[in-house]
Amino acid sequence: MAAEPKNVLFLMTDQHRADTLGAYGNSHASTPVLDELARTGTRFDRWYTPTAICTPSRASLLTGQAPFRHQVLANHERNVGYQEDLADGTFTYVEALREHGYNTGLVGKWHAGTVKNAAYFGFDGPDLPGWHNPVDNEDYLAYLKAGGLPPYEISDRVRGTLPNGGPGNLLAARLHQPVEATFEHYLATRTIELLERYADDYRSGARPFFLELSFFGPHLPYIVPDEYFDMFDPADVELPASIAETFEGKPPVQANYSAHWTFDTMPIEVTRKLIAVYWGYVTLIDQQIGRVMDALERLGLVDDTAVFFTCDHGEFTGAHRLHDKGPAMYEDIYRTPGLLRVPGGPAGQVRTEFVSLLDCTATILELAGIDPAPAVDSRSLLPLARGEEVEWQEDIVCEFHGHHFPYPQRMLREDRYKLVVNPDSVNELYDLQTDPHELTNVYDRPATADVQRRMMGRLYRLLRDRGDNFYHWMTTMYDVGEVDHDPTQSGLDETTYRPV
């Protein structure tokens, strides 16, 4: 086996469905670069985000901590009172890497805090705040000017009608720029420039590198040039089966979110077109990643560099009559793509263990020879990427805290079933073997009572063991099994609950 690599190239997208990639089974997809990464590395088939919202998930990647622990629980743009930046002194992998002599760069989307930007933590690269392509950014405008490229201009806007009669959120548009002028091309260009600089340092024996390319897309709105806007025929798009969603027996917030995203105000043909444009956006990104991968090979760094590809969370694109993400813990937004190529590791491997974006933190640290212990909710993926058989947890916990408004949820996903606890409403239980599209909530079905009880107790114990205080509500409201402490936490009556 080749020597353990020290360099890391971390490729990241935003709001990216796993089923947009050929490697994940999309026969229409045009993603040869990422498919090749899967062919030469490891594809994780059960890769989950800790929470399906940008800033909290990115803060989890940065720290190796679950959102409830680092407490950055909302995006700045829709925040309603949550903490927006990591507390001073919070461990981050980038600061650990720099302390161990690494060059550390991030080109693209940061969105892991508001006041504390990427440079604050030690990343090189342009400062690009915000949730989507900042097309008025000075560095991007300078890039356009230097190349004699035209400015941002759009047409053919796609949007529905809001419940109050106003125009809905922009979902897609046609971009009147050549590929070279797109923000995606700009990000890849700046990444290659930084990679060339880091390569010189590495070859001189001075410093290894960590370099992240973080695209703002394919997050909606899907704004792409003609060739990508029209690349896929909507007639070839198979609509998600969950488009038959009725929301019967489910939390009312899901139907409210469907109205907010104006799904029912647009003809079904528009949904097909939106999915087709989304696929085109993914192709544009794949091509730009290809430019970076070509540079990695040209610079002779392939054998010394581990390459990750993943995203912060998924996207509905019409599934469950929804767009974007939100308080609905479906596979569409929680299960995401996850690829990892470690030089010397087996090629074309598929792993089915439940893993998380959180696990990237410990993996990066182990690649650098740094103790991953401070990344307390993270476990290194290197044994899996090397093809080893190791004991692994057979389920995974995810969490949500709200987006437009506070809305706490916890989820336990195991091989067959998924449990979602919604304190303000009905809980959800899905049998993913018989109902893979999560259309039927069987939480209150007598036939699944034993499953419900077992999973509720398991989730309760996992949350309590990790220190997530969400378990307090569960203690009194649900059958969680034997309770060995006073649920009021008063300290005044522990003897009643002490095991005999």
For residues 417 and 430, the answer to whether their CB atoms sit within 8 Å is yes
Q: Could you please report the per-residue DSSP string of 199-264?
A: HHHHHTTS--EEEEEE--TTSSSEEEEHHHHTSS-GGGPPPPGGGG---TTS-HHHHHHHHHTTGG
The Cα–Cα gap between 207 and 104 comes to 10
* CA neighbor of 9 nearest in space, from 362, 303, 357: 303
- β-strand partners of 39: none
Tell me the pLDDT band of 408, cut-offs 50, 70 and 90. Answer: very high
Q: What are phi and psi of 83, to 5 degrees?
A: -60, 140
What's the rounded mean pLDDT across residues 349-357? Answer: 98
Dihedral of alpha carbons 87, 89, 93, 99, sign: positive
Angle at 47 between CA 314 and CA 15, to 5 degrees: 15
Helix ranges restricted to H, 379-418: 382-385
Q: What are phi and psi of 113, to 5 degrees?
A: 170, 175
The Cα–Cα gap between 417 and 445 comes to 14
In the block, which residue shows the tokens 């939390």?
Answer: 251
3-class state of residue 72 by DSSP: strand
- Number of helices (H) and strands (E) in the chain: give both, helices first: 15, 15
pLDDT digits (tens, 9 = 90+) for 212-264: 999 999 999 999 999 999 999 999 999 999 999 999 999 999 999 999 999 99
What's the rounded mean pLDDT across residues 118-139? Answer: 96
pTM for the full predicted model? 0.96
The Cα–Cα gap between 217 and 57 comes to 16
The Cα–Cα gap between 170 and 159 comes to 5
The Cα–Cα gap between 84 and 401 comes to 13
Q: Which residues contact 9 (CB under 8 A, 6 or more apart)?
A: 195, 211, 212, 213, 292, 296, 305, 306, 307, 308
Q: What is the greatest pairwise CA distance in the chain?
A: 80
**Per-residue CA distances from 107 to 55, 186, 282 (Å):** 16, 10, 18
Amino acid symbol at 279: W
pLDDT surpassing 90 at residue 69: yes
**pLDDT score at 4:** 56
**Averaged confidence pLDDT in the chain:** 95
The Cα–Cα gap between 361 and 381 comes to 9
pLDDT digits (tens, 9 = 90+) for 145-204: 999 999 999 999 999 999 999 999 999 999 999 999 999 999 999 999 999 999 999 988
Tell me the pLDDT band of 498, cut-offs 50, 70 and 90. Answer: confident
In the block, which residue shows the tokens 């049998």?
Answer: 431
- β-strand partners of 335: 48
Token readout for 440 is 């039927």
How far apart, in Å, do the first and last CA atoms of the chain sit?
55
Rg (CA), the chain: 23
364, 370, 373, 378 alpha-carbon torsion, rounded to 10°: 10
Token readout for 72 is 């950055």
The Cα–Cα gap between 474 and 451 comes to 16
Q: Could you please report the per-residue DSSP string of 311-357?
A: ES----TTGGG--S--S---HHHHEE--EEE-TTSPSSEEEEEEEET
